[in-house]
Amino acid sequence: MAKNTLSFVCQNCGAAYNRWQGKCESCGEWNTLAEEDTSGSVPVSIRSRRKGRTFALESLAGKSPDAPRLSSGLSELDRVTGGGFVRGSVLLVGGDPGIGKSTLLTQATSLLARAGHRVVYISGEEAVAQVRLRAERLGLSDAPVQLAAETSVEDIVSTLSEGAVPRLIVIDSIQTMWTDTVESAPGTVTQVRASAQALIRFAKKTGAAIILVGHVTKDGQIAGPRVVEHMVDAVMSFEGEGSQQFRILRAVKNRFGPTDEIGVFEMTGLGLREVTNPSELFLSERDLGTPGTAVFAGIEGTRPVLVELQALVAPTSLGTPRRAVVGWDPSRLSMVLAVLEAHCGVKLSGHDVYLNVAGGLRINEPAADLAAAAALVSSLVNAQLPTDAVYFGEISLSGVVRPVAQTPARLKEAAKLGFQRAVLPESARGETGGDAGLSLNAVNSLTTLVAEIAARGSRRGESNAPAEKNATPARFRRGEG
Ligand code: TYD
Ligand code: MG
């Protein structure tokens, strides 16, 4: 006789307790505990009675050639996975509802099916007709993807075990799956974990690659599936600002590839378009002629990406001034502000400070320090920075501008996009990789840069502002290209 193993499981992090309590001690969330049977098994009598039934799959595809990696046909997706899906691997794709996960995977599966691979798309959220409608909208109806709307893991495994092993299986989403080996309700942590386990077992046994889709809670964690993160081979998150068209696919964990690469997409009326040159996209909406913006020449993985940093420094009406930052590390901002105060005589304690990375990108590099500082000072003294300049460099606590990696790649990208000057660390001047075609303004300490910007501020009102505007690369002027 099976022991009664009812316990209270946190629906946010998966921690289990013997008694109900209001707050989860593990993740600190309130009211997330729900009663579940965590025994992980059911009496043999029930198990043997239940044999997975088979269900019909839509039109069949061809056979599968053997290759360790399966390229998806979307180079931005392949970049993030590290060169394609690995045989027998399981990948979790997380993201907000409506961000475009189903669209991305419909496109990827269709391309693979067209290339002759057996690809199966199991939708637990939408009916077959809805998935078809999306495919029609994307112009992919002719792709021989095998489609089903199913939620029972046993049925799915039984069906997929027949015939040739699929190269790729998409499960959209893992929260809708349920297995009858556990008694909890679908969507609970126990169910999600058990379903994922069964699917992972199937992937390892057969060599099929599986993509699990997972929805994310408002605080950015993959709800329920968070407990799956350690079981899968790779975790990607699909991010983007609701109001903007850019979507960024980021590897959070990857057993078979890098975790610092990003894939950039644009959501259009005809699905996701790959953006092979993200800089052009991030700079396309530049607000020229306003103080407080600086272009940062960054590196994402192996690829240079130019992006605009926007700062607003305004007198505060609060006792404690506000510091708000989107797309960058708040503690990095605090550090830059402290260095500006301590070493450059810039008084910010009476000001609210806002910093935003344009286009919904999230920057992790310390190399953005110099661009952030330039944008902040530019906003404070109300002086526009040269619109044809890029900035990069790390700032140390002593106010020294320190060199960063991959200087030549950053300069090359800036030159390619029509920029004329670069403000960079003095010590990086030697490794500019020959003639990048930019005029270089090497700064040794942050004080130098602050003085230069302040001088522009005091000169403001003289003739230089209109001249700056004309120096702008034509493609970034508002309303063009
Ligand atoms: P979807 O892939 O269903 O999101 P998810 O699976 O992550 O919940 O995408 C939903 C959004 O994408 C929806 O708001 C409409 C939009 N969309 C487009 O803008 N263009 C398109 O071609 C498609 C298919 C969707
Ligand atoms: Mg979806």
Whether pLDDT at 474 is above 80: no
Exposure b/e, 170-187, CB count within 10 A at least 16 = b: bbbbbbbbbbbbbbbeeb
Q: Which of 67-71, 75-79, 211-215 has the lowest mean pLDDT?
A: 67-71
| Ligand 1 proximity of 137 Cβ (cutoff 6 Å) | yes
pLDDT for residue 462? 44
Rounded-to-integer distance, Cα 211 and Cα 79, Å: 16
Whether pLDDT at 149 is above 70: yes
Architecture of domain 71-276: 3-Layer(aba) Sandwich (3.40)
Rounded-to-integer distance, Cα 238 and Cα 270, Å: 18
Ligand 1, atom 12: closest residue by C-alpha: 100
The token pair at 100 is 């475009």
Rounded-to-integer distance, Cα 357 and Cα 260, Å: 18
Which ligand approaches the C-alpha of residue 93 most closely? 1
How much distance in Å is there from the Cα of 134 to the middle of ligand 1? 8
Whether pLDDT at 216 is above 70: yes
Whether pLDDT at 39 is above 70: no
- Kind plus residue range of the DSSP H or E element containing 380: helix 369-380
Ligand 1, atom 21: closest residue by C-alpha: 271
Ligand 1, atom 14: closest residue by C-alpha: 98
Site of tokens 């043997």 = 48
Q: Determine how many CB atoms are found less than 10 A away from the CB of residue 452.
A: 17
Rounded-to-integer distance, Cα 321 and Cα 461, Å: 30
Mean pLDDT over 7-12 rounds to 84
How much distance in Å is there from the Cα of 480 to the middle of ligand 1? 28
Give the position, in ligand 1's atom list, of the atom nearest the Cα of 103: 2
Give the position, in ligand 1's atom list, of the atom nearest the Cα of 269: 20
Q: What is the pLDDT of residues 100-129, one digit of tens each?
A: 999 999 999 999 999 999 999 999 999 999
Rounded-to-integer distance, Cα 448 and Cα 399, Å: 10
- Per-residue pLDDT band for 6 (boundaries 50, 70, 90) equals confident
Site of tokens 């699905």 = 271
Rounded-to-integer distance, Cα 453 and Cα 377, Å: 7
Whether pLDDT at 46 is above 60: no
Architecture of domain 281-477: 2-Layer Sandwich (3.30)
How much distance in Å is there from the Cα of 179 to the middle of ligand 1? 28
pLDDT for residue 376? 95
Contact between residue 120 and residue 145 where contact means Cβ atoms under 8 Å apart: yes
Residue 153 backbone class (left: φ over 0; alpha: ψ -120 to 50; beta: rest): alpha
Which ligand approaches the C-alpha of residue 173 most closely? 2
State the Rg of the chain over Cα.
26
Give the position, in ligand 1's atom list, of the atom nearest the Cα of 270: 22
Whether pLDDT at 12 is above 60: yes
Which ligand approaches the C-alpha of residue 238 most closely? 1
Ligand 1, atom 10: closest residue by C-alpha: 98
Mean pLDDT over 123-145 rounds to 93
Q: What is the pLDDT of residues 317-354, one digit of tens each?
A: 888 899 999 989 999 999 999 999 999 999 888 999 99
How much distance in Å is there from the Cα of 118 to the middle of ligand 2? 21
Q: Which amino acid is at 310?
A: Q
- Per-residue pLDDT band for 477 (boundaries 50, 70, 90) equals very low
Contact between residue 292 and residue 378 where contact means Cβ atoms under 8 Å apart: yes
Q: What is the pLDDT of residues 394-439, one digit of tens each?
A: 999 999 999 998 898 899 889 888 899 999 998 887 776 655 678 8
- % of residues, the chain, pLDDT over 70: 86
pLDDT for residue 428? 80
Mutate to test the pocket of ligand 1, among 122, 249, 267, 273 (most ligand atoms within 8 A of CB): 267
- Per-residue pLDDT band for 224 (boundaries 50, 70, 90) equals low
Give the position, in ligand 1's atom list, of the atom nearest the Cα of 134: 24
Residue 176 has φ and ψ, to the nearest 5°, of -90, -5
| Ligand 1 proximity of 134 Cβ (cutoff 6 Å) | yes
Mean pLDDT of the chain, nearest integer: 84
Residue 338 has φ and ψ, to the nearest 5°, of -65, -40
Nearest residue to 168 (alpha-carbon basis) of 236, 112, 240: 112
Residues in the 5 Å CB sphere of ion ligand 2: 102
Give the position, in ligand 1's atom list, of the atom nearest the Cα of 213: 6
Report the side by side order of strands in the sheet with 234-239: 146-148, 119-123, 168-172, 209-215, 90-95, 234-239, 246-254, 262-268, 271-274
Which residues of the chain does CATH 3.30.230.10 include?
281-477
Mean pLDDT over 81-106 rounds to 92
- Per-residue pLDDT band for 473 (boundaries 50, 70, 90) equals very low
Give the position, in ligand 1's atom list, of the atom nearest the Cα of 105: 2
Contact between residue 389 and residue 439 where contact means Cβ atoms under 8 Å apart: no
- From first CA to last CA, the distance across the chain in angstroms is 72
- Per-residue pLDDT band for 57 (boundaries 50, 70, 90) equals confident
Rounded-to-integer distance, Cα 175 and Cα 193, Å: 9
Which ligand approaches the C-alpha of residue 139 most closely? 1
How far, in Å, are 42, 331, 337, 386, 393 from residue 298 at the CA level?
A: 54, 19, 20, 18, 10
The length of the chain, given as a count of residues: 481
| Ligand 1 proximity of 103 Cβ (cutoff 6 Å) | yes
- Kind plus residue range of the DSSP H or E element containing 411: helix 407-416
- Per-residue pLDDT band for 58 (boundaries 50, 70, 90) equals low
Give the position, in ligand 1's atom list, of the atom nearest the Cα of 99: 7
Ligand 1, atom 8: closest residue by C-alpha: 98
Contact between residue 270 and residue 383 where contact means Cβ atoms under 8 Å apart: no
Give the position, in ligand 1's atom list, of the atom nearest the Cα of 101: 7
Which residues of the chain does CATH 3.40.50.300 include?
71-276
pLDDT for residue 435? 59
How much distance in Å is there from the Cα of 103 to the middle of ligand 1? 6
How much distance in Å is there from the Cα of 98 to the middle of ligand 1? 6
pLDDT for residue 235? 93
Q: Which of 13-27, 255-269, 412-426, 464-478 has the lowest mean pLDDT?
A: 464-478
- Per-residue pLDDT band for 471 (boundaries 50, 70, 90) equals very low
pLDDT for residue 476? 40
Q: Which amino acid is at 355?
A: L
How much distance in Å is there from the Cα of 192 to the middle of ligand 2? 17
Mutate to test the pocket of ligand 1, among 93, 96, 99, 103 (most ligand atoms within 8 A of CB): 103
Contact between residue 141 and residue 135 where contact means Cβ atoms under 8 Å apart: yes
How much distance in Å is there from the Cα of 96 to the middle of ligand 1? 11
pLDDT for residue 288? 76
pLDDT for residue 219? 60
Whether pLDDT at 242 is above 80: no
How much distance in Å is there from the Cα of 137 to the middle of ligand 2? 15
Whether pLDDT at 41 is above 70: no
Rounded-to-integer distance, Cα 83 and Cα 431, Å: 30
How far, in Å, are 204, 231, 338, 452 from residue 345 at the CA level?
A: 61, 51, 10, 14
pLDDT for residue 464? 39
Whether pLDDT at 221 is above 70: no
Q: What is the pLDDT of residues 267-316, one digit of tens each?
A: 988 999 998 888 877 787 777 778 999 999 999 887 889 999 999 999 99
How much distance in Å is there from the Cα of 109 to the middle of ligand 2? 14
Contact between residue 70 and residue 87 where contact means Cβ atoms under 8 Å apart: yes
Rounded-to-integer distance, Cα 320 and Cα 350, Å: 8
| Ligand 1 proximity of 269 Cβ (cutoff 6 Å) | yes
Mean pLDDT over 148-156 rounds to 94
